[in-house]
Amino acid sequence: MSASGYDRDITVFSPEGILYQVVYTFKAVKTAGITSFAIKGKDCVVVLSQKKVSDALCDASYVKFVHSVTKNVYMLVTGRQADGKAILMSARSMANEFQNDYGYEIPAQLLAQKIADKNQAATQEAWRRPLGVSCVLFSSLPPPAVSVDEEEPVSGIPVMYHVDPAGFFSSVVAMSMGTKDSEGCTYLERVMRARKERQKKEAKRRQKEERKEEEEEEEKGEKRDMEDEEEEEDMEVQEGVFGELTAEKCCFILLSTVHYVLGEGVKASDVEMYVCDKDGLKRKTDSEVDDLLGVIAESE
Amino acid sequence: MSGIGAGYDLSVTTFSQEGRIFQVEYASKAVETRGTMLSMRLDDSILIATEKPTLSKMAISSSRRRVYRISSHIMMGVSGILADGRAIVEWAREETSRFKDNYDRDIPVFVLAERVGNFMHAYTTHPSVRPFGTTICLCGVTKDVQSARASRAAKKPDNGRPELFQITPSGDVNRMHAMAVGKGRQVARVELEKLLPPHNRDAFTIEMDAQRRQVEAARDTEEEGEEEAAAEKHLDNMTLDIAAKEAVRILYLARDASETEMGEIEICGIGVGMIPTFIPAEKIKNLLEEVKKEEEEESSDDDEETDEAELGESSETE
């Protein structure tokens, strides 16, 4: 896989059909030295970003990786700092335009799509370069248009979309971005699989108990169709995988991921963690994060 | 003279194999090789000091400015390629004026800083232009809801909160306690880090700030007379005048040793209720003389101590 000569321009394919500048843009996301994680729970989204301020003269309180795009849609940005601000500004501008044109707040999915389209255009047009940032758009309150007929807005439906520098976007249940993104994603997938296994066992156990109760009621054991049973189990598991995570469990999972990926020396001042639920975005205080990290360290 | 970026460093829109943009890094180098600029954010005021290397004996160096007034509450120091700095100053002035027209209030410093950052960043994304070869030091005093709240908590009148922003050629915007760029930045940074206050200076912990003041006030009344005469100088207990002298001292320590004479020093400060004000050249000259004398005295004291140590005499001092 020789890149020679075909990797200097954005609009040039290599003979193998690879756009090397886009590959390098993905590498640029890692140059910031920051890793971030995000997870979607039952009624909330929890995001966590590593925070590294190596300059003693720098005011660390100003450094932020989670920003609000609209009142309800937030964005976690990882990668080159100035590119991150630029993508945030363009997202805000797109959201404002939508609000002005259509009279209601832009849904997170549509905003993710617009940002992704812009990212893709930057990989195809030579007059500008792609931005070296990866972002996760999340929201825990669907825009009012969805619930215009109801008296109370439908609350607590979390959505999370990941947009990468190449313009690919998708809805995700959990995501890791930045320098150690592959380790983070591997760990989160492991957690997901473990939860799936646990819930399969739970579902089986519950079914057995229910069957026992019914048998006792009817005093006669009926032979059920085994295939139907398994289908029912699978359906339960699918909904339950991440759907039953509360905010506390999400925080715990994310901090375990941090502990695993970033090492045991991580303190609350090295990360910033936010919980987005129906009440909006709230930052976890340093003491709360420290407590959780302590619990995780002890449970090892 | 090919460096590690060879081949990937000819265009600002080319990422290297590790994902770096070398043209932006080279633009930062343009800043590193030129005159020193430092800035300090004090408790209620803010200061920029620069050393302007002498280009020509025939030039009137006071006409070659490096610190500019952007508005009555904001000033901007430029480093590196001064012509690029001027372009940004012009744009920032227009932006401040536009904001005032649109919103009928003074632009908060952090809003202007983010916009300048966005402006500078735009020039790093197109192959048809080049990045600005300057690091901007944007200082100003913002009066807004937060400063009103903080002043109420501290039981002081609302003089606004001073903010200091550093904007690099890549468009990164960082809020700083103090900053130093240019040839003498290594020495200057070491000196400035010594001046960092011991307590947490987080601007958002307003309640902590108010508590700290109460604790300090209580301590002062208790330990009056027991305190050392020369308390430790740091950013939060220096006045603008003391800070100006500190800035001259740091510039003197950070000067280019190969030059026989320092370049002209330009200092501009925003104090309580002041517009950005330049310190007159005469006063700076006097400060520099004082600083030079003090540094000579200190170094001769050190020499005396080392002489005594060499002679084997015990150098027991109080």
Question: What are the per-10-residue average pLDDT scores of chain A (300 residues)?
Answer: 74 92 95 93 92 89 93 94 96 96 92 96 93 94 54 68 96 94 93 84 88 76 47 45 76 91 86 89 88 84
pTM of the complete model: 0.84
Cβ contact, residue pair B122, A89, below 8 Å:
no
Chain B partners within 8 Å of A63 (Cβ): 174
Closest of B92, B106, B97 to residue B137, by C-alpha: B92
Q: Can you give the pLDDT at residue B100?
A: 96
Rounded mean pLDDT for each run of 10 residues along chain B, 318 residues in total? 76 92 94 94 93 85 88 95 96 97 94 97 95 96 85 82 95 96 94 84 50 64 47 83 94 88 91 90 92 88 66 48
Q: Can you give the pLDDT at residue A227?
A: 43
Domains of chain A, each with CATH number or no CATH: 20-184 (3.60.20.10)
Chain A partners within 8 Å of B20 (Cβ): 28, 31
- Homologous superfamily (CATH) for B22-184+260-279: Aminohydrolase, N-terminal nucleophile (Ntn) domain (3.60.20.10)
Q: Which residues of chain A from 70 to 89 reach within 8 Å of chain B, CB to CB?
A: 80-83, 85-86, 89
Q: How far is the C-alpha of A48 from the C-alpha of A59, rounded, in Å?
A: 20
pLDDT tens digits for B227-270?
A: 443 467 888 889 999 999 999 999 999 998 888 888 889 999 99
Q: How far is the C-alpha of B203 from the C-alpha of B162, rounded, in Å?
A: 10
State how far residue A91 is from chain B, nearest Cα, in angstroms.
13
Task: Specify the DSSP class assigned to residue B176.
Answer: B
CB B49 within 8 A of CB B41: no
Q: Can you give the pLDDT at residue A192?
A: 84
CB of A245 within 8 Å of a chain B CB? The answer is no
CA of residue A290 relative to chain centroid, distance:
22
Q: Can you give the pLDDT at residue B200?
A: 63
- Residue A182 CB-half CA count within 13 A: 3
Q: Can you give the pLDDT at residue A15?
A: 92
Q: How far is the C-alpha of B136 from the C-alpha of B142, rounded, in Å?
A: 18
Q: How far is the C-alpha of A18 from the C-alpha of A1, rounded, in Å?
A: 10
Strand extents, DSSP E, chain B:
37-41, 46-52, 67-69, 74-78, 136-142, 161-167, 173-175, 178-181, 264-270, 277-278
Q: How far is the C-alpha of A205 from the C-alpha of A237, rounded, in Å?
A: 13
Helix axes A108-124, A20-30, angle to 10 degrees: 130
B19, B178, B180 ranked by CB distance to A27: nearest: B19
Q: Which residue in chain A is spatially nearest to B119 when comparing CA positions? A: A86
ipTM of the complex: 0.82
Q: Which residue in chain A is spatially nearest to B9 when comparing CA positions? A: A8
